[in-house]
Structure 1
Amino acid sequence: MTDSYEDPPLPPPAPGRASLPDGLRFAFGTLTVLPARITRWDRPAARSGMACAPVAGLVVGLLAAVPGVLLLLLGGGPMLSAAVTVAVPAALTRGLHLDGLADTADGLGSAKPAEDALRIMKQSDIGPFGVVTLVLLLLVQVAALSEAYAGSWIRGALAAVTAAVTARLAMTLASRAGVPAARPEGLGAAVAGVLPHRAAAAVTALTVAAAAAAALPLGLPAAGRHAAAVLAALLAADLLLRRCVRRFGGVTGDVFGALAEVSATTALIVLALG
């Protein structure tokens, strides 16, 4: 994982199409702290990597669900299980998605021209908009996930995994063709517009179907609710994406982080309603 969304590693570029292993290394190396040495940093690798982003989300979600489920089974209670589950993805990304959310909130709330807003987002400190957004979002995530764990450990685990996968799927869709980069450098520039619409749609359809299938043992209503959670989360992320493109002129790494957190939170809210 890079230390900043705006300062990604730059291995020597390689010509030609990227393989699936190249894409997986790109996805895990840029979106998690899990060991994955990025061997290619070019457009083909970015295309394959962003298509594989939900796979990275699946691993993060599973790793997040394990301690939450164990705590619940040991009598820790839904709230504690939810808090620990929410903390794991933050640790597995070094907090970069949350930092991106805070920076994006500061940029959107600054009411300054795009160039000045982007400069605010690149600063290392967090402003009042970012602080309030972070606190409220984390509270909502823990509360929603606590509701899921209160139903059963299976519901809690499925909610955690669904949210993590959906968060990365939102990044996949933000990488589709036609979405511009706001800066000429950084993760946003590396992945903006790399994924054809057909590929983005295929990844989305597969992810929605997988979410529904995973919840099917809990019954048809649960399967439908998980599919609806993914779709609602993607809608919320798309609304934010459109706002950011209008406001900043394109996407940045911070915007990708914000999209991940907003979509994960939306999915958890929908699942909590069940």
Structure 2
Amino acid sequence: MSVLEVRNLEKKFGKFTALDGVNFEVRSGEVFGFIGPNGAGKSTTIRVLLGILKANEGEVKIFGKDAWSDAVEIHKRLAYVPGDVNLWPNLTGGEVIDLFVKLRGGNNKSKREELIKKFDLDPTKKCRTYSKGNRQKVALIAAFSSDADLYILDEPTSGLDPLMEKVFQECVLEAKNEGKSVLLSSHILSEVEKLCDRVGIIRQGQIIETGTLNELRHLTRTHILVETKQPIASLTELKGIHEVEETEQGLSFQVDTKELDIIIRHISQFGIVKLESAPPTLEDLFMSHYENKGEREVGGVR
């Protein structure tokens, strides 16, 4: 069952098309990763989902309701954390958390206290004294303290140290285990890889790939390190071989995953002494779409 459905979404700013036929869905109880470089259309999409921007074409349904006309109803069941949090400077962190939680109709004090402790936040300080990281903590604590059914997180760990990133990841997995849904927009690919069930890659306002990480592996290369009894002949002439390099540990190269079977058969003729393979990461997947494109990103639209 889909909690969020985006169909043929288009958004224009004057003559510039920021979103061009975007399609994806977030299912009940899943974490969906939404990735792309600055200028790809991530934040514009999220603003349409939140009912801040009105789409020119297409439809966005959240909990079966229209994201623009039913925004007030939708927000009762939705929690949002932006990448750059602005808070009321004269309120304390605790007061802001309480305000956000009450706006959603919740009052889970034990959850609030548990998260304040986990994120190591001093809730008695005025928000004007907080660093960027502490402002993010306030927003994250408020979001995870509320009993939301959908979390929309746009670069939520911006400004957090690695220890706090780990706490954030635990909160996301806990929400997922409770059957909640999460849309996570992030440029930290290792974070997306750890947390997400499925991933959508957006480029120049279009979704170019969607699927589980395993389904997207065909776009990437596997790293191979091999040592053989005899030198491997004609390796660079084979299809799908990249970045061949002699190292102290052996011969290092990358291979397009779909050609892996043929390559392994070829090198086995030369007497394999040692073979190490590293599965392709999301970083590889991401770069395969953007490197050597020679395309200019449009500033100001994310």
Report the TM-score, using the length of structure 2 for normalisation. 0.30
Q: Which protein has the bigger helix share?
A: 1
Q: Which protein has the bigger strand share?
A: 2
Instruction: Give the number of the structure whose alpha-carbon radius of gyration is greater.
Output: 2
Report the TM-score, using the length of structure 1 for normalisation. 0.33
